[in-house]
Structure 1
Amino acid sequence: MANDDPQTVPPPVSDAAQPPVRAGLLRSGLVVSVMTMVSRVMGLARDVVIAALFGAGQGADAFFVAFKIPNFMRRLFAEGAFNQAFIPVLSEYAAQRSRAEVRELLDAVAGSLAVVLLLITALAMFAAPWLVWLFAPGFGRDPAKLALTAEMLRLTFPYLLLISLTAFAGSVLNTWSRFAVPAFTPVLLNLSLIGAAVLLTPLMSEPAMALAWGVMIAGLAQLAFQVPFLARLGLMPRPWPNFAHAGVRRILVLMAPALFGVSVSQINLLLDTVLASLLAPGSVSWLYYSDRLVELPLGVFGIAVGTVILPALSRRHAEQSGEHFARMLDWAMRAVLLLGVPAALALVILAEPLLISLFHYGAMTERDIAMAAMSLRAYALGLVAFMLIKVLAPGFFARQDTKTPVKVGIIAMVANMVFNLILIWPLAHAGLALATALSAFLNAGLLGYLLWRQQALVPQPGWGRYMVQLLGGCAVMGLGLAWLAPEWQQWLGWGVGQRVLHLAGLVVGGAAIYFAWLAAWGVRLRHFRLHG
């Protein structure tokens, strides 16, 4: 895990700073996908424990909001704007500058990032009640719930500082093609929350506070985990704030618009939480559980591909290799569609069985399952669009263009609010999820059109045949799942073993049908091999 491709990474003692340029994108993508799959499976295990212990009650609602605030800012800032601005600049330094200059950049960025994050964290902890009211105004109607959430937020918000520094380390490792380490790191968050829920809950006067402590512990563990791998590369920074450094200034310029552009889908999800807090009790939790299931294929397929192509696209842009740049984007779109379309269809067909098998234990009621299934289907309709955003946005960021995604993001944001106002009345919380899905399609469509108009995205031959192959496989798989799956009410009476066996059989059976169809129509693994 420490060395994904030892033959392509320059030794730490070398004066050359250039990162690998011939890493196989398929291989790197599979590495990230496997590690992400481990993380997401552990995340589902975490949510099973939380659902069993806390259900969709007041404590669960309070924790989900208290965790969503720093987690949202993490995705917006650390894994969003910072990551998309930092990697292209670091890749350029690594390709064109000396190793000493690369280390100087790392020192300046680490120090400057730490100073900013310390100030933000201190301010947020002081203003915790106001932040809760801002992000979940409906909680203001229940002073006890508001106070509990604010108390939790003071424990969870320092996670932003810790995970942002972890994201900094992960960006360096990704640039040097050490993809496995950053992809595995989120497993520690899930292990920490499971441990806290099981071990600390009995010790707390307010049981849900154990989860907040679990977040704090996880942040420390994730940062500590990546330090040895940076040191092994000889790239461990000595943080020293230097906002005047040319590289830091350029990162800040790129980050300003990217703060909005790269994370529009996350902002839309946050708006869902704000509006859901005004709806029936449990709405926040229903959206959370359904979003978690959509996040599994999104992370394993969409985010994994987006993670590996950003450094590769950045290198190709630095080398002015426009033809290979366009081929990479085309490859990324085909790769996420290959798995994203059938995953979305499976979530729609198997919504209740999935939710029952994972969450219908302890405090989780049958009504909670029915409500969460509604929003899960709505989110699933937008899964392909969420994935396409993850692979199309790097096409702009790799070329250090962060303004265009902002313009697209503003359009998608306004559309999401309009869709929210239209759909919340007839569909309640499910309307919020559907609005997010619709705005994601608008976002992805505009990004793709603009890349095509700029000739950064050039469709390669064979798209017509590819779509026939893919959609035909999905149709056959969907019919198979609909025929094989028992009525979801039957699942309620089964034990955990019977549920898991039936669900595993449906997943394996559906995948076998889909890939058998693709194989019969001539789709081969070698068709997706491409070097970075």
Structure 2
Amino acid sequence: MSLVKKFATVGGATLGSRVLGFARETLMAAALGTGPMADAFYAAFRFPNLFRRLFAEGAFNAAFVPLFAKEIEAGGIDGAKRFSEEVFGVLFTVLMMITIAMELAMPWLVAWIIAPGFVGEPEKFGVTVELAAVMFPYLMCMSLTAMLSGMLNSLHHYFAAAIAPVFLNVVLIGALGLALWTGASPLHTAWYLSWGVLAAGVLQMAVLYAGVRHAGMRIGFRRPRMTPNVKRLLWLALPAAVTGGITQINQIIGQMIASTKEGAISVLQYADRVYQLPLGVVGIAVGVVLLPELARALKAGHEREAGNLQNRSMEFVLFLTLPAAGALWVISDEIVRVLYERGAFSPETTSVVAGTLAIYGLGLPGFVMIKALNPGFFAREDTKTPMRITMVSVAVNCVLAVSLFPFFYERGIATAEAASGWLTAIVLFVTLVRRGHWPLDKALAWRVVRLLIATVVMAVSLHHLADAMADRLAPTAPLLDQVSALGILVAFAMTVYFGIAFLIGGADLGMIRRNIRRTPATRTDVPEGGE
């Protein structure tokens, strides 16, 4: 299976999840707006999400997958199964201890980390503590789910792991639908959502466990022991946890600062949801697929193929994210208005969210490039270098966020996150090149220049068309007119960008099809999932 087909498998499933995420956020905007209960729920939910990225997705995608791939190469399925059971026993025990400790310390965590700005509002603070306590076990479910996802990805079964997040959105949409149908108060709506998060975590874990069994691997619980394999995993996972969670780390810093302004947390969340669509569909798909592919190529000694995988993946990433960044900058107001402006979501809120989204859009290529660059380190079992780079980036984010927030509020926090994201991407790329782990490709450089030209032409054209369609996109226009007008803008932007990109050589069918096809040399005796 070619890389592009694997990207499409993961990206397509992620796209479905993100579309449902939009539906969820639209209902959330109508039910809660940017009121205190929305702030409380988003603040509480951000905390287990932070730990999920730190201890689950980031750590396991970086550390578990290369070691699991090595076990497959060395000992086949039986060796990989034994390694998985060793890890599962230790992971389950550690997660249980973390969950108990965090539940007991939740009031202090909310006061000092999650939302220090809520301390002066006793009701809002108390609700945030209670909601966070309900949702924190979601971390345990999702950490185990991340391990199961890593196993499936390494066995070339990508679809089940990619489709699992859909269940979170389905459950939360159901909770919001129930709240709106029954006319529930904002407080009761927040409670419905919190219990929905926990239920969705259990459901996702069950689906992934069934997927692993379907892939032909049955894992059981072993008494936790610090075997050499587990020690090696922890040695790699601790710095990888910091690196993989850079976005969440920066967002939790932004949340701490934003908690001092009413509604700011919700504004950042609504903007984050929109730019997460291209980030998830492209960036996460590339990161999920590239790491096991790169790890297995390197374990087999195919350095040339590894370099080709990296360059073609970066080509693919920029081909899709540069136009997305341009569109988010130009029509952020129109996007936010159509998606959110109804119910408790006012035109004034649209303006603030749109301004924040436009800045996130400028940072989008940097955020996605990080997903394509980190596997170059992780596949070589180097997790310390990205961690050091990440820590510098977090420090820059902190300084910028604290400096800019008093003047630009939510836009200042978005600017800090975008700047730190670009800094991380640039330093990661330069480090890989200097070490000889990323062979410079003239074809990639010329394509990027041409893609930038196509993006600029598309953005200018889109700006003029949006002005011409202002009446149909106005808040007073019927919703159906607004939706159709936004659809026309998106279709026009895609036509202009792809037309120019192919015309001037920024893209061709070979880039999309032939150049990113896997060579047979790296195949093993493990069958592809073909899901």
Q: Any conservation in 1 of the 2:377–2:386 contact (CA below 8 Å)?
A: yes
TM-score (norm 2): 0.93
Pair 1:500 & 2:486 matched? no
Q: What is the percentage of aligned positions where both structures have the same residue?
A: 35
Give the secondary-structure state (helix, strand or coil) at the position aligned to 1:347. helix
Pair 1:527 & 2:506 matched? no
Aligned to 1:12: none
Q: Any conservation in 1 of the 2:161–2:208 contact (CA below 8 Å)?
A: yes
Aligned to 1:267: 249
Instruction: Name the aligned partner's letter for residue 494 of structure 1.
Output: A
CA-CA distance at 1:464 after TM superposition: 4.1
Q: Any conservation in 2 of the 1:87–1:171 contact (CA below 8 Å)?
A: yes
Distance in 2, matches of 1:479 and 1:235, equals 52
Aligned to 1:362: 343
CA-CA distance at 1:419 after TM superposition: 1.3
Deviation string 1:201-254 (CA, Å, 9 cap, x unpaired) is: 646763321110110111111111122221122212102143322221111010
Counting only pairs closer than 5 Å after superposition, residues 184-223 of structure 1 correspond to structure 2 as 184-200=163-179, 202=182, 206-223=188-205
Give the secondary-structure state (helix, strand or coil) at the position aligned to 2:344. coil
Aligned to 2:139: 160
Q: Any conservation in 2 of the 1:192–1:218 contact (CA below 8 Å)?
A: yes
Counting only pairs closer than 5 Å after superposition, residues 225-240 of structure 1 correspond to structure 2 as 225-240=207-222
Q: Assess, with a 3 A threshold, how the Cα gap between structure 1 residues 241 and 502 changes in structure 2: closer, same or farther.
A: farther
Pair 1:129 & 2:129 matched? no
Counting only pairs closer than 5 Å after superposition, residues 415-494 of structure 1 correspond to structure 2 as 415-485=396-466, 486-487=469-470, 490-494=473-477
Structure 1 stretches lacking a partner, 5+ long: 1-22
Aligned to 2:500: 517
CA-CA distance at 1:340 after TM superposition: 0.8
Counting only pairs closer than 5 Å after superposition, residues 88-103 of structure 1 correspond to structure 2 as 88-103=66-81
Counting only pairs closer than 5 Å after superposition, residues 51-450 of structure 1 correspond to structure 2 as 51-133=29-111, 134-200=113-179, 202=182, 206-279=188-261, 281-450=262-431
Give the secondary-structure state (helix, strand or coil) at the position aligned to 1:493. coil
Give the secondary-structure state (helix, strand or coil) at the position aligned to 2:42. helix
Aligned to 1:8: none
Instruction: Name the aligned partner's letter for residue 341 of structure 2.
Output: H
Deviation string 1:316-351 (CA, Å, 9 cap, x unpaired) is: 121222222121111111111101111011001111
CA-CA distance at 1:472 after TM superposition: 2.0
Q: Any conservation in 2 of the 1:257–1:406 contact (CA below 8 Å)?
A: yes
Q: Any conservation in 2 of the 1:109–1:241 contact (CA below 8 Å)?
A: no
Give the secondary-structure state (helix, strand or coil) at the position aligned to 2:188. coil
Q: Assess, with a 3 A threshold, how the Cα gap between structure 1 residues 394 and 370 changes in structure 2: closer, same or farther.
A: same
Task: Report the number of matched residues.
Answer: 509
Larger deviation, residues 149-158 vs 468-477: 468-477
Instruction: Name the aligned partner's letter for residue 518 of structure 1.
Output: A
CA-CA distance at 1:162 after TM superposition: 0.7
CA-CA distance at 1:82 after TM superposition: 2.2
Distance in 2, matches of 1:188 and 1:138, equals 32
Instruction: Name the aligned partner's letter for residue 524 of structure 1.
Output: D
CA-CA distance at 1:200 after TM superposition: 4.9
Give the secondary-structure state (helix, strand or coil) at the position aligned to 1:27. helix
Distance in 2, matches of 1:251 and 1:143, equals 42
Give the secondary-structure state (helix, strand or coil) at the position aligned to 2:119. helix
